[in-house]
Amino acid sequence: MADCNGGIRILRYGELGSTNEQAKALVEAGFSERLVISSDHQTDARGRNGRQWQSLRGNLACSIVVCPSLPPARLSELSFVAAVAVQRCIKKLIPSLAVKIKWPNDILVEGAKISGILLEVANAVASKHPSVIVGIGVNVALAPDNLKYRATCMRDLDCGVSGDVLLSDLIEQFLELENKWAQSGLDPILAEWLDHAVGLGEKILVRTGERKLEGVFENLDEKGALLLRGADGKVDKISAGDIFIS
């Protein structure tokens, strides 16, 4: 089924292997307009670094596809745009609880993960600019189990929002923030991101591949890299990795 929200086309499916993979196939087939792919269930969902993502029925699974006329080096910045959009949506629904962003783009409620984001790039044959696929999963009705970290869902937080309502607000928030990013750059997005950052100013552990670094999460640089100050005073700039709070 297709409909529109804020000038963006929405394609809804009962079941897909992956909303990101479906979006990629459409882009590579020449579909270059803005669109959203959503699915009631994914059978082969992925998280960052190829990790499996449990996509359970009743949860929100979607991919937002945009094609910014900006240098390719800037496209990864949409990870922060998406994280702020999701944080805004969830905070509106549960204002009394702490809704935080764990670098770079996991959303936590009271320390438990409720959402993950995965960015991928695809190229349409007839387009001068690559498309960015922003995959977003939010635990609405069910929280995954057998994980190495705590997870939660909106229902367990006494919030009965539906996936459709959440998706509609998410699209609105994302498009507003994407426009701000395109017009004003990443700085205002990072400023809002930092207002809700997990571990800012605290001692954390960062794992990048086989390497482990400890230090104080001091800030983000202008591109969103994490600035970690070690015990020796040296600041490491980290562009990718997993963080753990002491």
Kindly report, residue by residue over 28-77, the tens digit of the pLDDT. Answer: 998 877 999 999 988 876 655 555 556 678 899 999 999 998 999 999 99
Quick one: tokens of 200? Answer: 């800012």
**Distance from chain centroid for Cα 178:** 13
* Domain ranges in the chain with CATH number 3.30.930.10: 2-195
Q: What pLDDT shows up at residue 146?
A: 74
* Domain ranges in the chain with CATH number 2.30.30.100: 203-245
Q: How far apart are CA 47 and CA 143, in angstroms?
A: 15
Q: What is the pLDDT of residues 7-37, one digit of tens each?
A: 799 999 999 999 999 999 999 998 877 999 9
Low-confidence residues in the chain, pLDDT < 50:
1
Q: How far apart are CA 245 and CA 230, in angstroms?
A: 15
Q: What pLDDT shows up at residue 201?
A: 96
Q: What pLDDT shows up at residue 124?
A: 79
Please report, for residues 163, 192, 218, the alpha-carbon distance to residue 229 in angstroms, rounded to integers and kept in the order given.
Answer: 40, 22, 6
99 with 109: CB under 8 angstroms? yes
C-alpha R_g of the chain:
18
Q: What pLDDT shows up at residue 51?
A: 57
Which CATH number is 2-195's, of 3.30.420.310, 3.30.930.10, 3.90.960.10, 3.30.450.20?
3.30.930.10
Q: How many C-beta atoms lie closer than 10 Å to residue 222's C-beta? A: 9
Annotation: CATH topology of 203-245: SH3 type barrels. (2.30.30)
